[in-house]
Amino acid sequence: MTTTLGPNGRWNAAALGVKSSDTGAASARTWGHTRTRRNFEREGTGYVCFVHDPVVFARAAMTVVEHDDPVPEAALAWAEVEAEKTDAGERGGTEWADWTLSPTASALAEKSVPLINRGHAAVVEATVAASRLGVPEYDDAELRARLDYFADVVERAGGDREREALAVVAANSAWVP
């Protein structure tokens, strides 16, 4: 997840897929005119926060979450980054922008090894599918079938936090489990 400073002086938390590179920089793509994109364009900086709690992630992905501090309590680690727009375009009626994220500072907040389960991964994938519902480029029936599958995985392989996170996805999207 990422946090970016908004014009109201608060840090907006949002899901952002970050890809690492061999150079130490990372890349990401924003879709639409999201708060993250606008804040990157205005400020040129942000934080990549590594969280394991699926509820924290689902809320960041599906709702508007703002914090007074750039690093939320749930972060296991973080990296402050400079964000430079490297490309932009449009696909399926939605504008996108590519960013290079160059770390300027980082910290490890937690030294525990988080347990990963299939339910956790299903929550992450469910946020992606739910965010694409209603986008003309994607088939809603296929997305709903994916969401139903992810719900089944969460039920079989997830725990209470994954179930709660999936409820956040359902409550903040056009998907009804």
C-alpha–C-alpha distance, residues 95 and 41, integer Å = 14
C-alpha–C-alpha distance, residues 16 and 24, integer Å = 18
C-alpha–C-alpha distance, residues 59 and 56, integer Å = 5
Give the residue from 116, 128, 94, 130 showing the smallest Cα distance to 161: 116
List of domains in the chain: 2-108 (2.30.110.10), 118-171 (1.20.58)
pLDDT band at 88 (very low <50, low <70, confident <90, very high): very high
For 59-84, what is each residue's pLDDT tens digit? 999 999 999 999 999 999 999 999 99
- pTM of the entire predicted model: 0.89
Give the residue from 25, 11, 5 showing the smallest Cα distance to 99: 25
For 129-154, what is each residue's pLDDT tens digit? 999 999 988 999 999 999 999 999 99
pLDDT band at 113 (very low <50, low <70, confident <90, very high): confident
Residue 3, pLDDT score: 98
